[in-house]
Copies of this chain bind each other. A is one copy, B any other.
Amino acid sequence: MSQEQTVYTKLRSMLLNGEFEPEQRLTEKHICDILEVSRTPVRAALLRLEAQNLVVGQSNRGYTVRGIRVRDVWDANVVRAVLEGSAAGALARQGLSDETRDTLEQSLREYGELAENVELTDRFLTLHSSANWTFHETLVSATGNESLTRSIETLAYMPVQINRTVFASDRAYAVQTVRSGLAEHHGVVAAILSGDATAAEMLMRTHSQKALRGIEAVRDRQKLGPDYLDMPFTQFIGGVGTSVAAA
């Protein structure tokens, strides 16, 4: 793997794991020292991170760590839900290929098995996250709309999935969410297969918005005031579970 790839990957995970202070200045030299490479790959990596909104760059003034607030995660999820909803609607209109239908049904089966006995082990959480991801990912890319796929991918680098964190701290919430998640997945697929675009879009959007319910759950659990949306996201989530399920 090229140095630039390495730098990009490492910096991204450091940023997502909150290893820098929000708004902290990121000088090229500093990063060079940490990762022991020259400025060239660092500059390239920073440009890509800027395109993904993880760092903020100003000409002649370098970069700063983008401070991710709860509001940013909320907003990204709102957009993601809208886009995934429209993906479901589009699929209902254009129909599913046999291959996509197989993948989706496979994903439903996997998810179904998981829903039968919810654990709070790392293994389970990873499996759940993966099965869930497959479903969403398959559905979106099946539309064949590259702009749509890319738009959603861009959002995915912001922690759009906070369920892992909330699950780990609240068994009842986890069980309830996995069960209803399964039902919703089935509902979306049914709507798509029946060709009801409006229903498919609405069901999928509502389902994707479940991440917002997760945010609200964390808010309630921490008994936060009305301006919690302006909190740093790492601080918000930090008080609850173990770590952010990113990337």
Chain A residues close to B by CB (< 8 Å): 2, 5, 43-44, 47-48, 51-53, 59-60, 72, 75-76, 78-79, 82-83, 86, 90, 145-148, 150-151, 154-155, 158
Chain B residues with Cβ below 8 Å from A53 are 146-147, 150
- A162, chain B: closest CB distance, angstroms: 15
Taking a contact as CB atoms under 8 Å apart, the answer to whether B146 and A72 are in contact is: yes
> What are the 4 closest A-B residue pairs judged by CB atoms, nearest first?
A51-B51, A82-B86, A76-B147, A75-B145
Contact of A44 among B43, B83, B145, B151 (CB under 8 A): B43
**Can you name the residue of chain B whose Cβ is closest to the Cβ of A4?**
B59
Chain B residues with Cβ below 8 Å from A151 are 79, 151, 154-155
Q: Could you tell me the distance between the alpha carbons of A54 and B59 in the complex, rounded to whole angstroms?
A: 22
Contact of A2 among B43, B59, B147 (CB under 8 A): B59
Q: Could you tell me the distance between the alpha carbons of A162 and B29 in the complex, rounded to whole angstroms?
A: 45
Q: Could you tell me the distance between the alpha carbons of A51 and B76 in the complex, rounded to whole angstroms?
A: 18
Taking a contact as CB atoms under 8 Å apart, the answer to whether B158 and A75 are in contact is: no
Contact of A158 among B43, B59, B147 (CB under 8 A): B147
Chain B residues with Cβ below 8 Å from A146 are 53, 72, 75
Q: Could you tell me the distance between the alpha carbons of A148 and B154 in the complex, rounded to whole angstroms?
A: 11
Q: Are A148 and B47 also in contact (CB < 8 A) when A5-B59, A59-B2, A82-B82 are?
A: no
**Can you name the residue of chain B whose Cβ is closest to the Cβ of A47?**
B47
Chain B residues with Cβ below 8 Å from A51 are 47-48, 51-52
